[in-house]
Amino acid sequence: MRRFAICFALALAILSWKVTLGSVGAGYVDPIGQIRSQDEAVYSHTAIRMATQGDWLTPHFLDRFALYKPPLFYWATAAMVKLFGISTVSLRLASILAAALMIALLASRTKTWVAALALVTVAGNEYLSRLSSLALTDALLTALFVFAMDALRQDEELARPRSALVFGAFTGLAILTKGIAGLLPLVALAAHQALRLLRRQPLANWRSLALLAVTAFAVAAPWHLYQWAVHPRWFLAEYVGVEILRYGLGAPPQTSTESTAMFYGWRFLRLEGALVVLGVAALWRARSAVPLAIVLTVVAAVFGYQYRNLSYWLPLIPAFAMAIGDLLDEYPRLSLVAAVAFLSVLTPGTWRRSADPPLPAIATLRQYCGMSRGNQLYIEGTPDEFHATLLPLAQGVRYVFIAPTPEYGSTALDFHALGVIRTVDEELKAIPPREDVRAWGLPNDRAVGTVILAKDADDLRRFIAARPTADFFLTGEITLAEPREAPPLKWSCAL
């Protein structure tokens, strides 16, 4: 326990050093493709709403249900907000703590202090520290995945009921973090059993597997059953129809034109080159099948799913660390080499703290927020990556898009039919939506018209003229109407 505590403190210190906490939603989740972490603002909005308005069982975004992800990450982040207040640090603290705990566990499993301290330096890995400093689900999911596989690593036959219970509990928590992606521990378990079969080693017995499955179900099922019972239409449409069937098992829109092999291969070699070399060598000699099972699972998942998102590569880093830990126990003199690899000393910018170019829109919105205005704010496009949804604006924020031939969404959850998305004509003529959002379980109609679609610039100007009391953020500048009285700000504008 003492070794774990020391390793945790050191990992947390390295993560804290490597990270410069910029604006929420503005950091790069993929620094090579320069893709910003828009989801960070979305998830943070949901967590802030939970902490300030309640309803912890049902996530919301812009006054509508947000059932595209289960709530565990929101719960963890909202708990940090309740404990420490609304700030950039508190919104990202759940991810940072999850990564530090994962690194501490891997390091404390080694047999020598030299090996443990070498594994602690994995916290200096550029990409791990980057994703661990964003309010996204990836660091928490990866940590839960590793915690489950660590239970298997300690008892590869699952001979003890406790091992099956621990594995099942962490699998259930992983499902509560990212839905279908939370099944990765079960897929890795299947790969692990296949590897042991090839090695002619004993397999887990059916009683342990049954206990594991029942435990995972007992942890993950209650929230899903609650939503199915209380908000059946929205849950089945968004969580099942969109998140699982359309995105999880379908083909979501890509953010890159590269092939899957080129996308992942180039990025991983560029970000983790030295770690890859040592990790592959360690896997070749690994006594345990667990790290290899993780690698096989992740590779199969990213190439099978075919969606190009660098965060899916994240579990490979602790998998390599796990294998390298075994190698260092056997050859302690390699510990210095491991530290060099993990800290990426062989690549440029080793000791540079992560800092991405700021979004100009965020600085403008912070100044606007500080004016404490009571006017409705409309933003054209998303130049802020949804950052405005985090600010304590009296009337909130709505978004306007110029869309000559709009696509209204999936057939499972039609936001246009519900009135969440409305055209300028529908908004100005007060044409009622085809469906009532209250019939879908929402307590009110505040979500109606949170997104407005204009056919062209003239249509947008017509909308602006019809809203003389509203403020507009267009092409980098804010146009202010006559100010309306607003209550004092509930939290800081500096997020």
Residue 446 lies in a domain: yes
Q: What long-range pairs does 445-448 form, CB within 8 A, spacing at least 24? A: 445/419, 446/63, 447/62, 447/63, 447/64, 447/418, 447/419, 447/420, 448/418, 448/419, 448/420, 448/422
How far is Cα 162 from Cα 302, in angstroms, rounded to an integer? 31
Residues 311, 431, single domain; the answer is: no
Please identify, among 308, 342, 376, the residue that sits at the C-terminal boundary of a domain: 342
Cβ pair 279, 324 in contact under 8 A: yes
State whether residue 414 is helix, strand or coil.
strand
Residues 332, 368, single domain; the answer is: no
pLDDT at 348: 44
Residue 353 lies in a domain: no
Query: Please, what is the Cα angle at 78 between 75 and 84, to 5 degrees?
Result: 140
State whether residue 19 is helix, strand or coil.
strand
Residues 385, 271, single domain; the answer is: no
Residues 329, 389, single domain; the answer is: no
Residues 470, 383, single domain; the answer is: yes
Q: Which helix (H) or strand (E) holds 401?
A: strand 397-402
Residues 32, 176, single domain; the answer is: yes
pLDDT at 340: 66
Instruction: Give 33: exposed, middle or buried? Use CB within 10 Å, 0-12, 13-18, 19+.
Output: middle
Residue 494 lies in a domain: no
pTM for this structure? 0.94
Residues 229, 118, single domain; the answer is: yes
Residue 469 lies in a domain: yes
For tokens 């990025």, name the residue: 267
State whether residue 409 is helix, strand or coil.
strand
Q: How far is CA 323 from the centre of its chain?
A: 26
The DSSP output letter for 270 is H
Residue 231 lies in a domain: yes
Residues 267, 390, single domain; the answer is: no
pLDDT at 326: 86
- H helices then E strands: how many in the chain? 19, 10
Residue 75 lies in a domain: yes
SS3 of the chain: helix, strand, coil, percent, to 5: 60, 5, 35
pLDDT at 190: 95
pLDDT at 342: 67
Residue 410's domain comprises: 360-479
Q: Which helix (H) or strand (E) holds 421?
A: strand 421-423
Residues 177, 256, single domain; the answer is: yes
Residues 336, 364, single domain; the answer is: no
Residue 349 lies in a domain: no
Task: Indicate the angle between helix axes 113-120 and 316-330, nearest 10 degrees.
Answer: 160
CA torsion 156-157-163-164 (nearest 10°) is 120
How far is Cα 378 from Cα 376, in angstroms, rounded to an integer? 7
Q: Which helix (H) or strand (E) holds 452?
A: strand 451-454
Residue 489 lies in a domain: no
pLDDT at 347: 46
pLDDT at 254: 63
Q: pLDDT tens track of the chain, all 495 residues?
A: 889 999 999 999 988 877 666 788 888 888 777 888 889 999 999 999 999 998 999 999 999 999 999 999 999 999 999 999 999 999 999 999 999 999 999 999 998 888 888 889 888 887 888 889 899 999 999 999 999 999 999 999 999 999 999 999 999 999 999 999 999 999 999 999 999 999 899 999 999 999 999 999 999 999 999 999 999 999 999 999 888 887 766 556 666 677 777 777 777 776 666 777 788 888 887 778 999 999 999 988 888 776 777 788 899 999 999 998 888 888 877 777 777 666 654 444 444 555 677 889 999 999 999 999 999 999 999 999 999 999 999 999 999 999 887 776 666 789 999 999 999 999 999 999 999 999 999 999 999 999 999 999 999 999 999 999 999 999 889 999 999 988 999 999 988
Question: How many structural domains are present in the chain?
Answer: 2
Cβ pair 276, 323 in contact under 8 A: no
Nearest C-alpha neighbor of 126 from the set 26, 30, 29, 18: 18
Q: How far is CA 308 from the centre of its chain?
A: 15
Q: How are beta strands 60-61 and 64-65 bridged, if at all?
A: antiparallel
pLDDT at 464: 96
For tokens 């342990």, name the residue: 208
pLDDT at 122: 86
Cβ pair 387, 24 in contact under 8 A: yes
Nearest C-alpha neighbor of 408 from the set 398, 399, 418, 400: 418
Residues 240, 146, single domain; the answer is: yes
Residues 328, 381, single domain; the answer is: no
